[in-house]
Structure 1
Amino acid sequence: MLCLKKMPSIVDKSSVKMVCVDDFALRKRFSYGTVMINLENHRIVDMIPSRDTNDVCNWLKTFHNIEVISRDGAITYASAATNSHPDVIQISDRFHLIKGLSEVICKYIFREFPARVEIPLTESVTDEMKALYNTANRSLRIKFAHEKRREGLTISDIALLLHSSPKTIQKYLAIPEDQIPESKEIARERQHQLAIKQKEQEIKEAREMALAGYPIEQIASQMHRAHKTIQNYLNPDFSVTNGHYNVRIPRKLAPYENEVIKLRSQGLTYPQIHDIIYKKGYTGSVASLRMFMQKERTRMHEQNETEKPHSEYVQRKSLCQLVYKKLEDIGTITVKQYQEVLKKYPLLSELYTLTKDFCNVIFSKNPTKLDEWINAAQKYDIPELQTFMNGIKKDITAVKNGIIYSYNNGLAEGSVNKIKVIKRVMYGRNSFELLKAKVLFGELFHVKFN
């Protein structure tokens, strides 16, 4: 029986000329190794149990004839390649470059934008939908029934608007208007309003102390708040309302929300609506529909109470998805909503264009276009974007080589997945020597029989 641990090297190192390298987890978050793949025959060449710069450098020196190294943007591999083979052609992987820029733009959006971006209503509210929104609780339903009765509507007409039975409407109309119960505030809303009042008082106190000449450190000490919190309080643009308040996490129902509202305004029951959207791919429950509609009613009623113009919300997550997805591939934002968001935040449109231009540059085969892109991106005072561009400038030769040459790190990513499978087969109970032997033996098997 072949002893895997004592298996000799199966690769002639002098024949290896073009490679890509990447790291893989031996023990996630604790220890990592590095794998090398031959770009010519697509096979794993060698592995070491480290990704330290010196270890990788010494390892690369044992391959004397390397001419091309494809890698990601990690400083470790850039330094190791330079120190071991100064004249080698280093290629920065295109996927990692695009991924890095996408993450930068997403970080900026998460830092600057609220969890829900408020925009004007993109669709007109019909009378049926108004009736739906204006009946968030029993008190409002009774008032609505009385109002429509005064307008001359019959009991049957009112019943149709409220999606109730005529008998229920008769009970509503039998209640004298001066005895209609008052609407009760939701407990969560009461807590929210109380928290806002307390924060407004704190902000007022902090600003009064600042006007009196107290330094921020002393204000923070007296108010038992962090230095950063007091700085925020003194900022005139500081918003009292938390941007995450009343945020709905975009779950299974997100692509179908507008359709649910329309169907409900037409009088369809929740089980009927569930059957319709279930056929279109919805996998949630009927209870989720009821909960969503109650929250929508409450939100629209609050807008009516404060006499604010009707509005709707776009999830911040949808704006991040637009960085790397097409608009038609995102079910949580419509074309009209997208246009309204760009009207309110024109900088977003510029950032989306900047990202698309970068993708075009990366695949243009013309490295001079990268300099033009960097000059265009310099004007944006976004720290994350400036850091990304500084990284590109430091590794500019490898990035331009990535534009010129067709090599990439796709083979390395696939090989890392292969190593993960082998580790799972062994339940992770293996030494590095055994893992390396099994991986290289598998490569030898493929070379012999393919």
Structure 2
Amino acid sequence: MIRTFPARIEIPAVSAEADEILKLHNINNRKERVSFAHQKRSENMTVNEIALLLHSSVKTVQKYLMLDPDEIENRTIVKEKKHLLAMKQKQNEVNEARALAKKGVPIEEIAKTMHHTCKTIQRYLSPDYSVEDGHYNARIPGKLAPYEAEVIKLRSEGMTYPNIHKIITEKGYKGSVASLRMFIQKERIRNEAHLSQQETCSDYQSKEYIQRRSLIQLIYKGLSDVKTITKTQYEQVLKTYPVITELYAAIKEFYEILYSRRDERLETWLEKIENFNIPELQTYVNGIRIDINAVKNGIKLKYNNGLAEGSVNKIKVIKRIMYGRNSFDLLKAKVLLHEQFRCEFN
């Protein structure tokens, strides 16, 4: 699943709060993200689970939980404020340069006084000069420009960033994988600005994202134990990616075989798994076939080597505790005393 699916799996929106969650993925909505983290923490969700919902790192969520949502401004607003302040400062410089020039001060002297070049002062004194240069919020084409459409197409098909990077690198791209991630993140933010207009279109279909890690957890946990995916989302994932349904069914069947005491079912299951043609599963099947007799004995016999494994594990724990001051005699004495105390306690 890690090799095949992207970290975020796209599905048609099925949950009521899908659009709200999608907006939370925008890192510029910092106040909403922090409030969401605090809300879910109060609902006894773990930091890891909150990180999955926000598609962030655990470290980021830990920072969010240390902040007060009421004291945070959205990054878009902060950015706009900084831009307006910079424009005001630049306009003050222009006014100052023009005032000095009006008094007859030479351009060289004005440049020296204001710590600018003569060329900059000449621009300030030009009647056509404006502090609004038109570059604010404008996109600057970079190395990725010729491949942007292809990157968006491949990403929408679920391809991982490393695989996309490999494809476009062969075509001449010289940038990094991180640049691809940043580009896609900016594209999402840009598209959200047109979200309301898109929703009015008849062919628009809202989408949401499920973390791949949530699906991996379902391999060894029940659906009710994974808080980062709902039943409706789970059902939609299975509809969108039928191969996951087959894999989950195969895992469940293997679990049933292990506890069925019927080792003859194992061969049929191994043949079924080989038909998937998945390298990771084929490696697992090869490992079972190498030691097939032991696996079958583990299925059909009621006893196992669990007692011996448990004893070995206890000895290893004691050895690690005594690291640096250990000897065989001391280890032997401590193991025997431990068993003596256990027997007396029982």
| Greater RCO (Cα-Cα under 8 Å, separation 6 or more) | 1
Select the structure that is richer in helix.
2
Select the structure that is richer in strand.
1
